[in-house]
């Protein structure tokens, strides 16, 4: 597990941790990194939990997806283990925690709502507007959020939505879903859900969007040259001019 740090200008000084694609993994590597330098705010970008119908698998997204037989061959059987909820409990004890939902979170139980859930919703936190566009997007809410004043952060699990919904005009978009491209060669990912082979958005900064490579491996093939990560954003307020 690695930590990738971005220093960005903003309206306030804040240490923000961004976590995506935990997929009911092992909480300890994530918590160890955060305990070493506790953040002021924790943002969760989807697929922390496995919440899909019992006995079924999450379906591949439309567009650029693998054929069904390929998905069935390589995808792991990810199920609820309770570790996602244990992670949420530990994070909420550490700092305010806001959570947007991803394509593996088809529903939430009441016990999951330990964190503040931004499912096509937004709130104001210390001068920052933070909204969550779920994989089951609400375009009406998104356009209303776009029109609000102030510095706006958008949690958007699926980075390909950046083009689909013209998200480049948000101050900061935080995404996951691509798992870093699973195998990275010459700085490029090989495959990502919803984007297919040689995807455009897998890891790093793309204008105002930062894509995390995620915390887990959900495929039977290993991640190569692509360690799991958490993202830390060091927001620094520019000094006012005299």
Distance CA 29, CA 131 (A): 27
* Alpha helices, H only, the chain: 27-36, 68-74, 83-94, 139-146, 161-164
2-237 — its CATH code?
3.60.21
pTM across the whole model: 0.91
User: In the block, which residue shows the tokens 């919803």?
Assistant: 194
In angstroms, the first-to-last Cα distance of the chain is 43
Give me 50's structure tokens. 């496995």
Can you give the pLDDT of all 242 residues of the chain as single tens digits?
Answer: 999 999 999 999 999 999 999 999 999 999 999 999 999 999 999 999 998 765 444 444 444 444 454 555 556 666 788 999 999 999 999 999 999 999 999 889 888 899 999 999 999 999 999 999 999 999 999 999 999 999 999 999 999 999 999 999 999 999 999 999 999 999 999 999 899 999 999 999 999 999 999 999 888 889 999 999 999 999 999 776 54
């Amino acid at each position: 597990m690695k930590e990738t740090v971005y220093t960005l200008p903003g309206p306030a000084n804040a240490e923000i941790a961004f976590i995506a694609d935990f997929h009911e993994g092992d909480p300890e590597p994530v918590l160890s990194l955060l305990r070493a330098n506790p953040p002021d705010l924790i943002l969760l970008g989807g697929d922390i939990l496995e919440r899909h119908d019992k006995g079924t698998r999450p379906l591949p997204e439309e567009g650029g997806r693998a054929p069904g037989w390929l998905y069935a061959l390589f995808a792991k059987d990810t199920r609820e283990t309770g570790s996602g909820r244990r992670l949420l409990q530990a994070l909420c004890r550490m700092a305010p925690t806001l959570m947007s939902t991803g394509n593996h979170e088809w529903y939430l139980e009441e016990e999951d709502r330990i964190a503040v859930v931004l499912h096509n919703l937004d709130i104001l936190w210390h001068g920052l507007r933070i909204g969550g566009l779920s994989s089951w997007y609400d375009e009406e809410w998104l356009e209303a959020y776009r029109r609000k004043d102030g510095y706006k952060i958008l949690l958007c699990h699926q980075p390909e939505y950046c083009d689909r919904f013209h998200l480049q005009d948000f101050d900061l978009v935080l995404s996951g879903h691509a798992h870093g491209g699973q195998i990275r060669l010459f700085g490029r990912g090989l495959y990502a859900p919803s984007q297919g082979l040689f995807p455009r958005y897998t890891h790093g900064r793309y204008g105002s969007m930062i894509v995390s490579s995620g915390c887990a491996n959900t495929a039977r093939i290993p991640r190569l040259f692509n360690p799991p990560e958490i993202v830390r954003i060091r927001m620094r307020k520019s000094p006012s001019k005299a």
